[in-house]
Chains A and B, each alone.
Chain A
Amino acid sequence: MHAADHLPCGEAPHTEAAHAPPPGGEAQRREAPRRHEIPRRGEPPAKVVLQPAEIRRALTRIAHEILERASGADDVVLLGIPTRGVPLALRLAERLGQVEGRPVPAGSLDVTMHRDDLRLRPARALGHTEVPSAGIDDKIVVLVDDVLYSGRTVRAALDALGDIGRPRAVQLAVLVDRGHRELPIRPDYVGKNLPTSQREMVRVLLAEVDGEDAVLLGARPADRGDS
């Protein structure tokens, strides 16, 4: 899932990010959300559910699980779904590369043109698609996204993949699985299972996009459509 905006490549991250608070302390995240706990301009307060170190450990674990399942990284290609799936894919590729001792191809796959909710809102800017030069034919493609929610983004990604090539297998890695699936899709690798209410909103912040690492859980602002 994505924040309501898809940014064209090369554009600065959306302005909300600039107002992101410093990550909360250890004590803070065990407590129920208090008012004014994480003041974000124009948004209700949110609770930190994953700290930078926890994100780091989850990605390291996922990297090892990928290697175990694929018996090495020989045919693995990581494709991140913009916006925040892309830096996650690059981080996973870096870890796979460290373990295997050679670079693992990673890229990005924009799914905007394949979404089923295009007509529900004004046309969005496209994200960037960058498929590694070796292609995806006969490879094990691991799709990487920040939050798995309805599953519709992943469905769109599977359609988009079909136009690029024919992988041997497609797997799905997500940092947060918040449940509420609307399609028969399940992740292969999960950073954290996070039971949520549909009234809540999960926000993943990543240093590459937002200037810091954190996963936040808060009430859904009235004007927000997804995530």
Chain B
Amino acid sequence: MKRHLLSAGDLDLDDALLILDTAEELARMAERPVKKLPTLRGRTVVNLFYEDSTRTRISFEAAAKRLSADVINFSAKGSSVAKGESLKDTALTLEAMGADAVVIRHSASGAPHRLATWVKGSVVNAGDGAHEHPTQALLDAFTMRRRLGRLDGLAVTIVGDVLHSRVARSNVLLLSTLGAEVTLVAPPTLLPVAVAGWPCSVSYELDLALPKADVVMMLRVQQERMNAAYFPSVREYSRRYGLDAARMALLPEQGIVMHPGPMNRGVEIAAEVADSVRSTIVEQVANGVSVRMAVLYLLLGGSGGGQR
């Protein structure tokens, strides 16, 4: 593995499987009475969050603490960023405080890549703009493998606002590396122009894609980014691209429903679907901690420079 985790596309098949296998072992540890390992004792992980986040930040924090690392949480609100400090100056400050890893979420695509050139420690991308969110893709792949037993040849349908979704982009890159066949389903206005070059197929009709989908992943309609008329109304979107019980019935028998959260119940996913046994939404959160522990262990656990 490389020193940083910036893009799901940086992971080759061996790296991805190593992370998933490591996460599998660490997930079993969560069932023990003592859920803590001494592995990263004395190492410092900084959570540098320029965007609001609940589950990702808490998940990284829990992962680092279970590995005995010291965690410093930094959110842009109420910090010197509000006084106009630049990302670079913030990064150098963190560097001076001895951060071994920086977990960064930023509204600008590419911010983690810039950060990686400024700090000596490892940088983990926890979501940058509409670009990438590699640990989410890893935890999604991990959840699929746990539920369905394999990834190779799995048919995965990702539905919704692909245009603004870093989750979709990272998932397409990672899942294609792992041998899954990804289909994106979205209104034409919510697909990026460059989607033709992605390693996946594209459809506009959800009802046609569902019967052959082992996994259907619903993306959040990012209302905070809906700055243009991407679709006529929320209700129409929900009718054409929302997953309700009738649509869920089209899935194959063992098919599962995923959502990266936070959900808009009644928009992209109906409440009865979100709470059904096919939904993995709560599992995804638990798996997120195991996968992030695996990433932090593999980046920080050794002598540096990553695995091998």
Residues of A within 8 A of B (CB): 8-11, 110, 113-114, 118-129, 159, 162-165
Contact A163 B301 (CB under 8 A): no
User: Which of B30-38, B57-65, B205-213 lies on the face that meets chain A?
Assistant: B30-38
Q: A163 — which chain B residues lie within 8 A by C-beta?
A: 32-34, 36-37
**Which of A114, A119, A123, A128 is within 8 Å of B37, CB to CB?**
A114
Q: Contacts A113-B297, A118-B301; is A123 near B307 (CB within 8 Å)?
A: yes
Number of contact residues on B: which range applies? 20 to 34
Contact B39 A121 (CB under 8 A): no
Q: A11 — which chain B residues lie within 8 A by C-beta?
A: 21
Of A8, A10, A114, A126, chain B has the most CB atoms within 10 Å of the CB of A126
Q: A129 — which chain B residues lie within 8 A by C-beta?
A: 25, 28-29
Contact A122 B32 (CB under 8 A): no
A211 to B208, CA, bound (A): 50
Residues of B within 8 A of A (CB): 1, 17-18, 21-22, 24-26, 28-29, 32-34, 36-39, 67, 297-308
A-B CB contacts (within 8 Å), total count:
71
Q: Which residue of A lies closest to B37 (CB)?
A: A113
Cβ of A70 to closest chain B Cβ, rounded Å? 25
Listed A/B pairs (21) with beta-carbon separation below 8 Å:
A8-B17, A8-B21, A113-B297, A114-B38, A118-B301, A119-B303, A120-B303, A122-B302, A122-B304, A123-B297, A124-B301, A124-B302, A124-B307, A125-B18, A126-B21, A128-B25, A129-B28, A162-B34, A163-B32, A163-B34, A164-B33
Contact A123 B38 (CB under 8 A): no
Contact B38 A122 (CB under 8 A): no
**Which of A9, A119, A123 is within 8 Å of B21, CB to CB?**
A9
Contact B39 A118 (CB under 8 A): yes
Contact A122 B308 (CB under 8 A): yes
Contact A122 B21 (CB under 8 A): no
A155 to B38, CA, bound (A): 13
Q: B302 — which chain A residues lie within 8 A by C-beta?
A: 118-119, 121-124
* Shortest Cβ-Cβ A-B pairs, 10 listed: A123-B302, A8-B21, A163-B34, A123-B301, A122-B302, A126-B25, A113-B37, A113-B39, A123-B298, A123-B307
Q: B26 — which chain A residues lie within 8 A by C-beta?
A: 126
Contact B21 A125 (CB under 8 A): yes
A128 to B299, CA, bound (A): 20
Q: Which residue of B lies closest to A5 (CB)?
A: B308
Cβ of A137 to closest chain B Cβ, rounded Å? 10
A90 to B67, CA, bound (A): 30
Cβ of A69 to closest chain B Cβ, rounded Å? 28
A124 to B28, CA, bound (A): 18
Apart from A8-B21, A114-B38, A122-B307, 6 more pairs, CB < 8 Å: A118-B39, A118-B302, A123-B298, A123-B299, A123-B307, A165-B33
A125 to B15, CA, bound (A): 11
Q: Which residue of A lies closest to B35 (CB)?
A: A163
Q: B28 — which chain A residues lie within 8 A by C-beta?
A: 129
A125 to B36, CA, bound (A): 18
Cβ of A77 to closest chain B Cβ, rounded Å? 16
A164 to B33, CA, bound (A): 7
Q: B306 — which chain A residues lie within 8 A by C-beta?
A: 122-123
Q: A10 — which chain B residues lie within 8 A by C-beta?
A: 21
A8 to B305, CA, bound (A): 20
A119 to B67, CA, bound (A): 14
